[in-house]
Structure 1
């Protein structure tokens, strides 16, 4: 008897189009037995299958597929031929090797022998049932082939993240005995600066032929003392490799994010995407664009010889991995490095953002070491202080003032019982009745506060929106555009005009504000190619007259005010604004230090969480960056 049956999909599914009977043989039909055995294979449990010794068959089956990493195959009955007291079934196998590239579905046929036994049939177990080339004692072993991760490419087509040489350093237990391997592990751990007890425990638990990785180091970081230590430790070994890395360990780290082995949570949430041991982006741009960057893993299935035999490992299936796609961003490798160098010796949390005012491209987004790995540059939230007077000035221009308009700058002013004053070293000759330009140049708090009645309704919010502040957009990376809440009290309204109260900003958005003034239009920053947006709806366009007036006032900050340190910086003419914002921490009043500046080539914002003032703390950092950038 010959019948054609398909049984697929983990549990057996019979798709009978027809049954063809040839040379019918009297006696019981072997088809039910074959189907029951296939169903047991699909369920990955032969303990109840119609086979001579179900428990032994299941034990051997489990040993054969143990190295397949828990992948569940689909098994079907494709064909059945009977000849007297024997029958041969043809099984269809299909292994969905998760994530494997083109051709990653491993499909093949295998034979199953059945024998007549009394009034029925039994299946005959053999390793070849699982894979036709297997013999007794052999087993399958699946290896995931990691694809080359896509590069992250920045300005001028220069690689930001690409394959760079590293050394995988560890203990090779084939070089020494078990006892020596553990003592060498402790010595190696001390040499490379990792936990000695934990590493020694891992080496002790590993197999006798294992290489137990201790650390992966950039080639240039394997300095002479480490090389000398490796030479002294007999069991130590370093293996040259390449992994995707930025130019340096800390280079734009909070922005770029990290790559590593997937977590158990990631596997649980996306089992069709990740398998244990896979490498993926875990945070930052690497995490958000992992689908694009990681590529498609490949797979290799080997047959491992029986233990103690002279057989060799042979490959029975291979699907090559597919490289990830390139992610293009705006960061300029040189400017990012300069920004990080400028902040390197700043103790408090700090950040520097540089934008091209002509295109909105974010060229640098650096976080100082005091930020502790957090992304203050594009997502920090702090009162912007007097840098926000750029926005307030636009609101006053729209209220009818111009740079020559007269404003009152008393030493102090009181609003609803709260006294506002100017900063401690405010020039004494710049009080009284002065022009709006002088108020901006010298950063007179009281001049803006005494003018608050001129800014009506949503005037401050609307001015902020025109300069790219206060309306969120999805830019494809964590970006905070600041907030300008409608004031609930007169005191709040006064504080808002000088960038305090509930007004909050990120360094990125303050760079955007000064970039918009320089460009004469609302600048929308972008970092990831394809995520550049038009100015937000509802943002009133900046007029040419408004932009010209703002530039003239911010230029006065450089020529006669708190930004005079920038006056001799080479290159295009600069506009600037300093800012200091008071805040309380643990009962102590401290100050955020800010400074923004822009020329036709760059718009820059510098923020220091705790500083003396904008001009004294943030100013020198901004000046150093501009001088380095314009060399």
Structure 2
């Protein structure tokens, strides 16, 4: 390149640079300062913003004092188009707050001033809220709607507002009485830990009411006079959303109570102190639908008002800035039958281990009862339990065998023991010798011959078992259920002893009591049952089909993480003819098998299948007790963890339930 060319390039570069400098009117720095201000206000932290005539730390304290009443909600703030005049600039700040069910939007103007090479923000409270004066802050008034009800079959009220009394020490009423003495007496009266309650009372402020317990008004045995005899003790009447009894469907429904600090913090502003919120079960899953949203007013007031001054200001009216209207919650409609639910709970009341009874209507899929016994310790065993189903899974085996050309009359071999890859399988204790050898499939099913079904393993592949299970509505998703549940899992691949174990409902095969009831119900319906519990789930309330987050399975169950994902829908649905053959064999369990005691249940003939599922490494192994039955348009599953034999443990519970259900 020649010398002249190089000089030309240098001249062009100098001219371009001069042009760029001449276009920089100083607005770039102002725009950056405006964006920094908007970002800082969004975070409610302006400690890094440089102000004209105001210390950044003092400005930050004042900003947080102004917006304290809206905590933990934060605004979204964006800077608009900047206007520049020599060394000053103005910029609009567009605010957006999520307040209750509404959105509060407004625009303020921020002023900037250039000082040397730096743009400073001129402090003005009106930059935060239109018209806000020095010494003013925001305040809020909130009105919460009454929590909506949870309804059962026929819209009967399962959870509704019921009268309660909050019993505690009202410290202003103590006068000269010793707080520790009164707290101890009250704790002993209502049955709470005296030491812990004394500590709560002593730690509370002098004006506090320290609740010890909340009692249902209906049926309470502790009188107002007993409470009043203790200095400082008081019973405050209130209403809470409650089920008919403390234990009624508790694991399924969950509870609702005043939100604690952790729930408020995690709500992102949706909950405030004093709000009622759901915990566990349907109350938590459908909390937004049931709770509705508070009516909230935002207003400006002077900082540092006393309670009396604030009340006076309230009566005279405040400078209102924003109003979000209250929205009443929508009742949650379910299929739960209160009479059958209570009956199931009464039947399980005497069972020590974790247990469950699930009853549903096959024709519609409506879940009528989903009871978890007292031994479940609050866990929803009925819907979320994950257990080896044992011999009730022979319903699935039989469907696969029927699809391979067998009938209830087909002959199968039932030896006393059978060894597969070094593992010996045998029949349950007390298996009748008369049903050994060559027997019909019906007879092998009726007496639950393990060896006969394991013998069929070479003709029934693991994939066929999985397909048969999904054909009966098991191990599939349950989009219509509307509640957290586990509908079972059946691995599509297994060989050797694992495949042999699958043939008797063990290995990696898992079911919940709900899944077992669905399986039995699909037989009587002649098509896969799609269970339904919630009739009107909110649009944003997804119907969970896996174990609920945070749930802890009870002993003997397997976490859902180990189970294969459910299929989106059933495979080839069970046909009416296939179901009729299965129903024939289930009826034989009652007429010629080991559940003859069900023959006396009044009404439609009962058909059933028992299951005794071994688990663990003990010798002899522990067993879960299962039984499923169909009775007219009713399918029932009964489960007892570590319960022994299905026929002798779960069977009598089933008979009691069916007889009383009518």
TM-score by length of 2: 0.75
Q: Does structure 2 retain, via aligned residues, the 8 Å contact 1:262–1:282? A: no
Q: Which residue of 1 aligns with 2:386?
A: 381
For residues 344-363 of structure 1, the aligned pairs below 5 Å read 344-363=349-368
Instruction: Report which stretch shifted further, 343-352 or 151-160.
Output: 151-160
CA contact (8 A) 1:254 1:374 kept: yes
Alignment of structure 1 residues 179-194 onto 2, 5 Å: 180-194=178-192
- Are 2:366 and 2:533, in contact at CA under 8 Å, matched by a contact in 1? yes
In the other structure, the counterpart of 1:154 is 152
After TM superposition, give the deviation of residue 61 of structure 1 in Å. Answer: 9.0
Partners of 1:504 and 1:444 lie apart in 2 by: 20
The answer for unaligned runs of 5 or more in structure 2 is: 1-32, 79-91, 109-121, 537-542, 546-566
State how far apart, in whole Å, the 1-side matches of 2:483 and 2:631 are. 26
**Alpha-carbon separation, structure 2, partners of 1:513 and 1:55:** 67
Aligned partners of 1:329 and 1:529 also within 8 Å: yes
Aligned residue number for residue 253 of structure 1: 250
Partners of 1:244 and 1:594 in 2: how far apart?
35
Counterparts in 2 of 1:49 and 1:629: CA distance versus 1, 3 Å: same
**1:143 shift after superposition:** 4.5
Matched, 1:100 2:105: no
* Mapping 1:592-607, distance limit 5 Å: 592-607=624-639
Aligned to 2:26: none
The answer to whether the 8 A contact 2:357-2:370 is kept is: yes
- Residue number in structure 1 paired with 2:529: 523
SS in 2 for 1:280: strand
Alignment of 1:159-558 (within 5 A): 159-177=157-175, 180-220=178-218, 222-224=220-222, 227-262=224-259, 266-267=263-264, 269-275=266-272, 278-299=275-296, 306-307=305-306, 312-315=311-314, 316=318, 321-456=326-461, 458-474=463-479, 475-486=481-492, 488-529=494-535, 537=569, 539-558=571-590
Given that 2:390 and 2:505 are in contact with CA atoms closer than 8 Å, whether structure 1 keeps it comes out as yes
Per the TM alignment, residue 215 of structure 1 is displaced from its structure 2 partner at its CA by 2.1
Change (3 A) 1:167 1:577: same
Q: CA deviation at 1:108?
A: 13
Q: Secondary structure of 2:174's partner?
A: coil
d(CA) in 2 for partners of 1:434, 1:309: 89
The CA distance in 2 between the partners of 1:364 and 1:251, in whole Å, is 11
Q: 1:233 to 1:12 in 2, by over 3 A?
A: farther
Asked if structure 2 preserves the Cα contact closer than 8 Å seen for 1:71 and 1:95, the reply is no
Counterparts in 2 of 1:60 and 1:399: CA distance versus 1, 3 Å: closer
SS in 2 for 1:567: helix
Note the 1:44-59 alignment, pairs <5 A: none
Deviation, structure 1 residue 453: 2.5
SS at match of 2:621: strand
SS at match of 1:463: helix
Q: Where does structure 1 lack aligned partners over 5 or more consecutive residues? A: 1-10, 14-34, 77-90, 110-122
The alignment partner of 2:215 has SS state of strand
Deviates more, 1:56-65 or 1:346-355: 56-65
* Aligned partners of 1:145 and 1:320 also within 8 Å: no
CA contact (8 A) 1:99 1:274 kept: no
Q: Secondary structure at the match of 1:620?
A: helix
- Distance between the aligned counterparts of 1:377 and 1:152, measured in 2? 19
Classify 1:72/1:401 alpha carbon distance in 2 versus 1 (closer, same or farther; 3 Å): closer
Matches within 5 A, 1:52-71: 69=71
Aligned-residue offset at 1:514:
0.6
| Number of the residue aligned with 2:615 | 583
* 8 Å CA contact 2:147, 2:276 repeated in 1: no
| 3-state secondary structure, aligned to 1:580 | strand
Give the TM-score normalised by the residue count of structure 1. 0.78
Distance 1:552 1:584 in 2: 34
Cα offset for 1:220? Answer: 2.6
Q: Deviations over 1:366-400 (max 9, x none)?
A: 11111111111111111111111111111111111
Across the two proteins, how many residue pairs are aligned to each other? 572
- Structure 1 residue 100: Cα displacement: 2.8
CA distance in 1, matches of 2:457, 2:513: 25
8 Å CA contact 1:169, 1:239 repeated in 2: yes
1:620 matched to 2:618? The reply is no
Question: How much has 1:341 moved relative to structure 2?
Answer: 0.8
Alpha carbons of structure 1 residues 540 and 132: separation in structure 2 relative to 1, 3 Å: closer
Local SS of the residue matching 1:363: strand
Residue 197 of structure 1 deviates from its aligned partner by 3.0
Q: 1 CA distance for matches of 2:530 and 2:448? A: 26
How far does residue 188 in structure 1 lie from its aligned partner after superposition?
Answer: 1.6
